[in-house]
Amino acid sequence: PQEGFSFREGLLHAEGVPIDRIAEQVGTPFYLYSSSAMEAAYQRFTAALTGLNAKVFYAMKANSNQAVVRSFAEWGAGSDVVSEGELRRALAAGVPGNRIVFAGVGKTQREMAFALEAGILQFNVESLPELEQLNQVALSMGRKAPVALRVNPNVDAQTHTKIATGRKADKFGIDLDHARTLYRDAQVMKGIAVEGLAVHIGSQLTRMEPFRDAFQRTADFYREMQAAGVPLLRLDLGGGLGVPYHHDQAPDLQRYAEIVKETTAGLGAELAFEPGRYLVASAGLLVTRVVFVKEERGRRFIIVDGAMNDLIRPTLYEAWHNIIPLRQADSGAELTPCDVVGPVCESGDFFAKERDLPPLKSGDLLALCDAGAYGSAMASNYNSRPLVPEVMVRGDEMAVVRPRQDYATMIAQDRLPGWLPALHN
Given the complex with ligand LLP, which of 35 and 122 has the nearer CB atom?
Answer: 122
Given the complex with ligand LLP, which of 39 and 274 has the nearer CB atom?
Answer: 274
Would you name the residues annotated as active-site residues? 345
CB 124, CB 148: distance < 8 Å: yes
Rounded Cα gap, residues 409 and 345, in angstroms: 23
Segment interacting with ligand LLP, rule: CB under 6 A, options 16-24, 29-37, 239-247, 412-420: 239-247
CB 86, CB 64: distance < 8 Å: yes
For 238, phi and psi rounded to 5 degrees? Answer: 70, -160
Our finding on whether 55 is near ligand LLP (CB under 6 A) is: no
Our finding on whether 111 is near ligand LLP (CB under 6 A) is: no
Question: By CB under 6 A, what part of segment 253-312 binds ligand LLP?
Answer: 274-278
Q: Rounded to whole angstroms, what are the CA distances from 198 to 141, 157, 180?
A: 25, 16, 14
CB 143, CB 112: distance < 8 Å: no
Give the count of alpha carbons within 13 A of 7, CB side only: 12
Our finding on whether 63 is near ligand LLP (CB under 6 A) is: no
Rounded Cα gap, residues 185 and 203, in angstroms: 31
Given the complex with ligand LLP, which of 95 and 163 has the nearer CB atom?
Answer: 163
Q: CB of residue 50 vs ligand LLP: minimum separation in angstroms?
A: 20
Segment interacting with ligand LLP, rule: CB under 6 A, options 55-63, 130-138, 283-291, 379-387: 55-63
For 123, phi and psi rounded to 5 degrees? Answer: -95, 125
Instruction: Please identify which residue in 19, 56, 59, 357 interacts with ligand LLP, judged by CB under 6 A.
Output: 59
Our finding on whether 62 is near ligand LLP (CB under 6 A) is: yes
Q: Is 317 annotated as a binding-site member?
A: yes
Instruction: Name residue 150's beta-bridge partners.
Output: 198
Q: CB of residue 173 vs ligand LLP: minimum separation in angstroms?
A: 9
Question: By CB under 6 A, what part of segment 118-157 binds ligand LLP?
Answer: none
For 67, phi and psi rounded to 5 degrees? Answer: -65, -35
Q: What mask, x for binding ligand LLP by CB under 6 A, covers residues 173 to 212?
A: ---------------------------x--xx--------
CB 292, CB 357: distance < 8 Å: no
Q: How far is CA 219 from the centre of its chain?
A: 25
Q: Is 195 annotated as a binding-site member?
A: no
9: left (phi over 0), alpha (psi -120 to 50) or beta: left
Amino acid at 45: F
Q: CB of residue 259 vs ligand LLP: minimum separation in angstroms?
A: 15
Binding site for ligand LLP (CB under 6 A): 59, 61-62, 80, 103, 163, 165, 200, 203-204, 238-241, 274-278, 313, 317, 374
Give the annotated binding-site residues for pyridoxal 5'-phosphate. 240, 274-277, 374
Give the annotated binding-site residues for substrate. 277, 313, 317, 346, 374
